[in-house]
Structure 1
């Protein structure tokens, strides 16, 4: 398996969807013929990985799997008022406060793009004060309803502190990747 660290412009450098364009370009360049394309990320990187995985690099369905850790999903979630506060990361990403019906807010909300069937592994720390665990749980429900194969792990830990070397988390990731690569080999 080849791992490539995708570079993308941060929210202080460009507004949405520049980050998605950058990660798609990185994924396009990293693709190897006949090999699974798995995208992964943590926090903002997980947000981007989900967008690439659900929307595709060039078309929906051309990504084989997504691993998303501690991902922000929906800036308008009712239990996350910080997502709509002045100066929050969504504000920086969009260049304006997120708002219902705003095209950029709708476009950067991950649940808007479920349905391609891409398998997804989600992991979140139960003690995450930066991104509520309900972001992951709500996304899991939306993915399952849209027909995606979903693996969810909620473990002890704060934002940025999920230790993927923990036996339970490492086993969940290993099991997911084994299933994905086996499914790709069958195609």
Structure 2
């Protein structure tokens, strides 16, 4: 009996119209893993243009334990147009990709998955109208951690994996990371939690309390992969973040600067995780901060992807 081709080789679905002339391809499989649901992405393309367009891979947050490619947190809930449509309207295609959560697979499966998403985009770039030389990564919280690793570990055979399409490069040209952990070994201490807690987000990702697996924790930490060849980074963080301390972004900024890489860190005073603010004005403050973060990210992507 002949087996069907893997889901990631299937023809592309028809696009449906999005805001401002953007085009949306939802639920496109980018990798098929035996015994696991096909991994999917939603692609939002800019309005029709004459030539190929740059693309950014967006990776959701949720502590590697929850979340989906369709969510960017409460500050953008119900937003119309969506943040991805705004980015696409600005000329950058957005591929919002799911990846295996820590209840489905342990580290480094999550990084293997998102690298597969970049490889798939390169393999299908001609069909999609994407410029395979201008692909960036963008993520929030746990997704920002994975976006940073995409930028810092190109060609690393230990972390590349064999998921989905193999062959094309998984390197990215720029990274935007919102309130992301950069050193899993210090996340707990930074918020006054127990580093040895077996139920922490980091422990569930690694499969053991962080102090008991120091090598794995180091390998999973972006700060340990910084080199002079790192792409440009934009780091955004709230000064009052109670889930991922702002020091995590400050540490990554310092390491990138020391290596001679380009990096810009902007800190929002009073902002908590997911841009939440003071309780009496939480929703409006979060929306204003989130929109500023989105505007900064769009400007960064347009500059670094040469639009």
Q: Using the TM superposition, give the Cα deviation of residue 75 of structure 1 relative to its aligned residue in structure 2, in angstroms.
A: 2.3
Q: Between Structure 1 and Structure 2, how many residues are aligned? A: 181
CA distance in 2, matches of 1:92, 1:84: 12
Where does residue 193 of structure 2 map in the other structure?
82
- Quick one: higher RCO (CA 8 Å, sep 6+), 1 or 2? 1
CA distance in 1, matches of 2:217, 2:114: 19
CA distance in 1, matches of 2:171, 2:184: 27
CA distance in 1, matches of 2:213, 2:169: 23
CA distance in 2, matches of 1:98, 1:47: 16
Is the Cα–Cα contact under 8 Å of residues 232 and 261 in structure 2 kept in the other structure? Answer: yes
Q: Does 1:43 align with 2:141?
A: yes
TM-score w.r.t. length of structure 2: 0.54
TM-score w.r.t. length of structure 1: 0.86
Q: Using the TM superposition, give the Cα deviation of residue 108 of structure 1 relative to its aligned residue in structure 2, in angstroms.
A: 0.4
| Poorly superposed stretches of 4+, deviation over 4 Å | 57-61
Where does residue 158 of structure 1 map in the other structure?
272
Give unmatched runs, 5+ long, in structure 2: 1-91, 126-130, 161-167, 276-285
Q: Does 1:27 align with 2:125?
A: no
Give unmatched runs, 5+ long, in structure 1: none
For the residue of structure 1 that corresponds to 2:260, the secondary structure is coil
Where does residue 298 of structure 2 map in the other structure?
174
Which segment is superposed worse, 148-157 or 18-27? 148-157
Distance 1:73 1:60, change over 3 A: farther
Q: Using the TM superposition, give the Cα deviation of residue 85 of structure 1 relative to its aligned residue in structure 2, in angstroms.
A: 3.7
CA distance in 2, matches of 1:170, 1:9: 26
What value does the CA root-mean-square deviation take over the aligned residues?
A: 2.4
Of the three residues 145, 148, 152, the one matched with 1:54 is: 152
Q: Using the TM superposition, give the Cα deviation of residue 141 of structure 1 relative to its aligned residue in structure 2, in angstroms.
A: 0.3
Residues 127-167 of structure 1 show CA distances to partners (whole Å, capped at 9, x for unaligned) of: 1100000000011000111121101110131101264313x
Where does residue 93 of structure 1 map in the other structure?
205
Whose helix proportion is higher, 1 or 2? 1
Is the Cα–Cα contact under 8 Å of residues 175 and 232 in structure 2 kept in the other structure? Answer: yes
Question: After superposition, where does 1:139-154 map in structure 2 within 5 Å?
Answer: 139-154=252-267
Residues 29-59 of structure 1 show CA distances to partners (whole Å, capped at 9, x for unaligned) of: 1233444111010000000111111112769
Which segment is superposed worse, 88-97 or 56-65? 56-65
CA distance in 2, matches of 1:83, 1:110: 21
CA distance in 2, matches of 1:83, 1:64: 36
CA distance in 2, matches of 1:48, 1:17: 10
Which has more radius of gyration?
2
Q: Using the TM superposition, give the Cα deviation of residue 102 of structure 1 relative to its aligned residue in structure 2, in angstroms.
A: 2.4
Is the Cα–Cα contact under 8 Å of residues 6 and 27 in structure 1 kept in the other structure? Answer: no
CA distance in 1, matches of 2:302, 2:194: 35
